Amino acid sequence: MPSLQFILGSAAVDHQAALLDHLAAQLAAHPTDRFFYLVPNHIKFSTEIDVLSQLKARQASPIYAQTQVQVLSFSRLAWFLLRDVPAFNAPRISPTGLTMVVAAIVKQLTPAQLRLFAKEAHQPGFIQDLTRQVMELRNANIAPEDYDQIKQRSAAWAQAHGQTDAAFDDKLAVLFTVYQRFMAALGDQLATPDIYDLLIQALRQGDFSTTHFYLDRYNAQFSAKEEQVVEAMIENGATTTVSLVLDRPYRGSQVPDPNQLFYQPGLMYHRLARFAEQHGAITFLPDEFASRPRVAPALQEVERWLAATSQFTTPAPAPTLPQAVHFMTAPTRLAELNAVAAKIRQLVTHQHYRYRDFLVLTRRLDGYETMLQPVFAAHEIPVFNDNDRPMKTHPLVTLVLGLFQVLWGHFQLTDLMQVLKTGLLLPAVEVAGQPLTAEQFKADLYLTENWALKYGKSGASWLSTKPFEYTPHLKITPAMEQTALGQAELQKRAQLNRVKHYVKTELAPFLAQWRQAKTGRQAAQLLFEFLHHQGVEKQLAAWEQAAVEAGELALGQEPQQVWQLFCQLLDEYVLALGDQTPFNLTDFRDLLLVGFQTATYSQIPSTIDQVLVSESGITQTERRQVVFIIGATDDVMPTVQLEPGLLTPAERQRLAQGLRADQYLPVAGLEKIANEPFVNYLAMMTPQAELYLSAPLQGGEEEQVGLSPYLTGLAAHFNQPITALPATPVPQADFAAVAPFVSAPAATRSNFIRVRRLKQDNAQPLSSSWRLVVRLLNQLQPDRPPLLPAYHYQNEPQPLTPALAEQLYGHLAPELVAARAAAQQADAPLPAIPPEQAHSTLYTSVSQLQTFYQNPYEYFLKYGLRLKKREEFEISPADSGTFYHNVMEHFIAANQPHLATLDEAALAKQTALALAWAESQQPLLVELSDEKRRFAYQLNHLKQVAAAMTRLLVNQAQLSTATPLHTEQTFGTTTAALPPLVHRLADQVHQVQVRGRIDRIDQIQTAQQTYQMVLDYKSGQRQFDLVRALSGLDLQLLTYLAALQNSAPTTKLAGAFYLHLGNEVLRASDLKRRSAVANTLQNHRYNGLILNDPDLLTAVDTELGQTGRGQLLKVSYTKSKQTYRANQGSALVTPAQLKWLLDQNTALITKAATAILTGVNTLAPYRLVEATTASNGLTNSDFLPIFAFDNVLDQDKFRDITLSEAAVKQQLQALDEPTENKEG
């Protein structure tokens, strides 16, 4: 006759030992019978090893083999008994597939059918919640046909209790509508409830009279289906023995109190006991209580405290026991995890534990997920994360979902690169006779992405027949092909077009076919064939092999699992919806998305020597010696928040009232919260020897969090302090305070670096404990720099050696370049290169020298290492500047003799010609404006500004006798109109050659002299500042004057100016004071320096001679003093002063060149404070992340410019004082 027996007892006793005593006795009495030891699937593998080991220990023979005992879970029992049954081998549907089926059903329902869920149906997570609710109905032993009876019974209960609710009726109707269609859609596919039905049928129809069932570690409530399986075991097996963590039985009419700690296992006992009592053929044996203690006395005291507090009573203080329960806090989760890892390592070292003896639990692992691996790796601790890992971030998922985005976005760059960068697609082409490698293709992609971002290539550009050109409109001649520049261009073009060709010939045809798919079956087949043809499966296999060879077993299993999931999703989709019409590609994508989002990796069980990390709500084995419960804060331990669901707690209660006795819903809502004490009780009773409770004082968002009442209550019960770890270790700490920060060398070194910083900042001595730690670290890591010396790190680059600086910046001397070119042309032997001339010349520009004076380290980054920020799709300031220059050059050249006399018609015509010519010089701008509206707008703005400037030139010409002489005059290059500006450095070996371009040279004829004047166009309002000019920050105007004089030494220099390019908006108030033309002239006055010669000044600005107020120059005439005065942004100088300024400019150029070639690369941004304005060398820099400049700690790094404008003017005035005054 079948029998049922319970083994009861608290979690402090050894239930497994009691069960195995029974099993061993039965095995001895019935050696030919079968024995099934059933545990939750999560711990099946480790329990099997443990059970067989303990059975072996119960016999004397050193050799042990066992075939009669099987350690299984419910699902593995089903496989064991049904593996040869045809119905069991029917197609399976995964949990992900179930979600897909529900998603497809929801898409078929109209808003009217969805009722209250119509707005929620498209919200993230709704499909998962609905699938979960449908499966709850199945697992609760509820069929779609039960709807009417459930509705009637629940309505009657609601009427009797005054809880009628129309919303519940609507929800119930929708749920059962979906449920009914769900069951029809499944067809012959098996889900877990179907497998349980087959198992129940097998148990009832087979002969199990010689089979013994043992159930262990089932402390959570069975589902209704699982309970039916257990009932079938009880009814048909020889014996069934169930172990429950329960303090007393509940037979007959006795029902556990919901407020009791053991309510859930008590309810499970009551259900199974009632079944046995009502079944006349079952012998209900007396209960046994496990008595062998499993945990240390201190942990038994923890149990006593938990049991008392669950009844809201205060237990007597704990007796004095060996300390086995510990409490600590840390400032942050990271600090807490580091402290736990350090403690584990110390316990392994000093108390001879194995890593597998440790279990780290927390109620919610997501707050620690990203920290686990790096922290435990730093402490050199092997760790196994028991939590489910989602598949949705795998590259294959990114690839599959990204293909939809590429199709719908019509080859947008972001979507395309997301697909190509997965590393799963590799063109089957050859490079230099060898197959293209993944690394080569990766380099192609990076180059292509940067180039495409710069030039805005997306959409139709990828599908056009026109090949990509790395440098647009650059024609490669046969001669150029032989140069390094030409070869580099050709190589980059080949890289760009490899990617383009792959997209055009492989990706685009597939997407075009995919778009035309008529059915889901066809779409799934095209997708699979494309990935197969592209070798995705092979690439995944290669990743798997590489991971396994590297010892990353968990990583190695990911590729195979995600590919199997993908294939399974396609199979399940085709079976459910493959032939439905009309087909919608968006629906197909949504179903795959849902499938991927809910999928997780199956993990290899932790059997090697590893620390296990898990969540406290998951069943664990009972063989761990030490448990750390981390994150013990009052918001999660106990959890007091209800999990969101489709049904509210009140609605679940009403639904439960409509169910039969053999139907019940799983624990949820308030019932789940009420069970929190039991969940935490099991977690705290898991270890055998020691328990650690810890909590961070800050949450994930740096908010303050409270300590769990379990942590504070147990600490008070044991009369133990809660150890508060400091955020940073203290330099003067004794050994006890140092110990929590001592672990593996890498982690300990990291802690000491912070100590050393504190020691230096606060001038504190270092304790002997820390000195001992440092000495040991230096011994363990002899290859690392010694730790004990003071913390001397400064945010300061190391200077280059002169030899390295020469190689980095220097070039062959120009005279030697010319000599070698002449020899080559004459087919003569090339002259030898003396070593001192190989890198003796610094070729530079004015802007580069200004960069050096702004911050020498930025000069090193930009022109030494040649770093630059990623170029993006935009009309850059350089592009717009070139456009303006081209317009001005063409307009002036065409109208130079009669600029002042152009009428409106001629001005419009000449402006149009200049604009057309400028566009022809920059065809890329026109292409961009044709493709993108934003660029069309920007180009139109450039044209408006340029047109305004041509009108301004005419207006200025009418107020000046100065006439443009030359435009766009370059110097310092091979094709320059002017000779280079060359300065020999002090060592007489090195030299600097400055290049540049003068925008415009005007000629002014006075009664006494012919002058030349420099104008430089600026899109911004640039003023001339003597302080900046003499500090190296504004070298432009003086250098251009020097270059002009260098080209024609007899030329009389008038001065140099910045001319603002712009098209300002005039306000009505502006027009009240002066005309539009006068306002425009006022907004574009010259900023610069000019000789203080009245004839020259009035020639340049005729209005100055007539009214005393300059219209072109920022100069005014003071009648009282009969002198001219320069306004802010300009300067009036004498010839001697101009010569001195030019000499100072030359000195600044040679000074910078000398510093550059000797390796100066100091992080020393300038800082200048003038009146109410301040500026520094960090403003608008692209390299701030590299500088790592701390505005608080690095104040001493600034190069403060103390020179004042008053001091400069005083120095200039001194140059013109009579000699006797200087001497006197």
C-alpha count within 13 angstroms, C-beta hemisphere, residue 850:
14
Write the pLDDT tens digit of every residue in 653-678.
899 999 998 888 888 877 888 889 99
The CATH number that applies at residue 709 is 3.40.50.300
- Model confidence at 790: pLDDT above 60: no
Write the pLDDT tens digit of every residue in 932-948.
777 788 888 999 999 99
CA 1010 to chain centre: 65
Tokens encoding 168: 């519940």
The per-residue pLDDT for 443 is 95
Segment 1215-1220 shows an average pLDDT of 66
Segment 191-216 shows an average pLDDT of 94
> Cα separation of 650 and 669, whole Å?
9
- My answer on whether 85 and 124 are in the same domain is no
* 951 within some domain: yes
Q: Which of 186, 205, 235 is the last residue of a domain?
A: 186
Write the pLDDT tens digit of every residue in 27-54.
999 999 999 999 998 888 889 989 998 9
Tokens encoding 221: 């409530």
- My answer on whether 651 and 622 are in the same domain is yes
Task: Centre a 10 Å sphere on the Cβ of residue 399 and count the other Cβ atoms it contains.
Answer: 21
Tokens encoding 342: 């350090």
- My answer on whether 269 and 303 are in the same domain is no
Q: Which of 574-578, 603-607, 690-694, 780-784 has the highest average model confidence (pLDDT)?
A: 690-694
> Cα separation of 668 and 685, whole Å?
24
- Model confidence at 275: pLDDT above 90: yes
- My answer on whether 406 and 507 are in the same domain is yes
The per-residue pLDDT for 694 is 96
> Cα separation of 1171 and 952, whole Å?
32
Given a contact cutoff of 8 angstroms between Cβ atoms, the answer to whether 695 and 633 are in contact is yes
Given a contact cutoff of 8 angstroms between Cβ atoms, the answer to whether 719 and 46 are in contact is no
DSSP code of 188? T
- My answer on whether 206 and 277 are in the same domain is yes
- My answer on whether 78 and 103 are in the same domain is no
> Cα separation of 659 and 1214, whole Å?
106
Write the pLDDT tens digit of every residue in 1036-1077.
999 999 999 999 999 999 999 999 998 888 787 777 778 888
Segment 451-476 shows an average pLDDT of 87
* 940 within some domain: yes
Tell me the CA end-to-end span of the chain in Å, nearest whole number: 133
- My answer on whether 564 and 616 are in the same domain is no
Number of domains in the chain: 6
> Cα separation of 647 and 669, whole Å?
10
- My answer on whether 459 and 516 are in the same domain is yes
Which residues are registered as beta bridge partners of 1090? 1055, 1132
The per-residue pLDDT for 1224 is 34
CA 1019 to each of CA 884, 945, 1039: distance values in angstroms, whole numbers, following the listed order: 9, 10, 20
* 137 within some domain: yes
For 841-865, the three-class secondary structure string (H helix, E strand, C coil) is EEEEEHHHHHHHHHCHHHHHHHHHC
Instruction: Tokens 């849902």: give the residue.
Output: 594
Segment 315-331 shows an average pLDDT of 88
* 786 within some domain: yes
Write the pLDDT tens digit of every residue in 576-595.
788 877 888 988 898 888 88
- My answer on whether 587 and 641 are in the same domain is no
* 463 within some domain: yes
pTM greater than the 0.85 cutoff:
no
- Model confidence at 975: pLDDT above 80: yes
> Cα separation of 439 and 435, whole Å?
11
Instruction: Tokens 């020597």: give the residue.
Output: 609
Q: How confident is the model at residue 1218 (pLDDT cuts 50, 70, 90)?
A: low
Q: Where are the alpha helices (DSSP H) in 611-685?
A: 649-657, 669-674, 676-684
* 1049 within some domain: no
* Cβ-proximal residues to 457 (8 Å cutoff; 6+ apart), any chain: 413, 451, 468
For 479, the enclosing helix (H) or strand (E) is: helix 478-481
DSSP 3-state assignment of 703? Answer: coil
- My answer on whether 161 and 107 are in the same domain is yes
* Top-confidence residue, 442 or 787: 442
- My answer on whether 287 and 303 are in the same domain is no
The per-residue pLDDT for 1221 is 45
- Model confidence at 709: pLDDT above 90: yes
The per-residue pLDDT for 576 is 75
Q: Which amino acid is at 527?
A: L
Q: What is the dihedral of CA 260, 262, 267, 272, to 10 degrees?
A: -150
* Cβ-proximal residues to 168 (8 Å cutoff; 6+ apart), any chain: 154, 158, 651, 654, 655
Question: Of the candidates 735, 713, 737, 705, which has an alpha carbon nearest to the alpha carbon of residue 724?
Answer: 737
Query: CB pairs under 8 A, 24+ apart, for 405-412?
Result: 406/507, 406/511, 407/511, 407/514, 407/515, 407/585, 410/459, 410/460, 411/458, 411/459, 411/460, 411/461, 411/462, 411/463, 411/503, 411/508, 412/458, 412/459
CA 604 to each of CA 9, 610, 679, 708, 1206: distance values in angstroms, whole numbers, following the listed order: 32, 13, 25, 33, 78
From the CA atom positions of the chain, what is the Rg in Å? 42
Segment 749-772 shows an average pLDDT of 85
The mean of the pLDDT values for the chain is: 90
Given a contact cutoff of 8 angstroms between Cβ atoms, the answer to whether 282 and 1 are in contact is yes
The per-residue pLDDT for 1222 is 43
> Cα separation of 572 and 166, whole Å?
36
Write the pLDDT tens digit of every residue in 542-561.
999 999 998 887 788 899 99
Mean pLDDT is lowest, of 193-197, 766-770, 1134-1138, for 766-770
- My answer on whether 696 and 721 are in the same domain is yes
Q: Which of 168, 186, 204 is the last residue of a domain?
A: 186
* Cβ-proximal residues to 1031 (8 Å cutoff; 6+ apart), any chain: 853, 1166, 1168, 1201, 1203
Q: Which of 151, 171, 186 is the last residue of a domain?
A: 186
Q: Exposed, middle or buried by CB within 10 Å (0-12, 13-18, 19+), for 986?
A: exposed
* 489 within some domain: yes
The per-residue pLDDT for 1180 is 87
* 800 within some domain: no
Q: Give the residue numbers spanning the domain of 770.
A: 732-738+745-756+765-793
DSSP code of 84? T
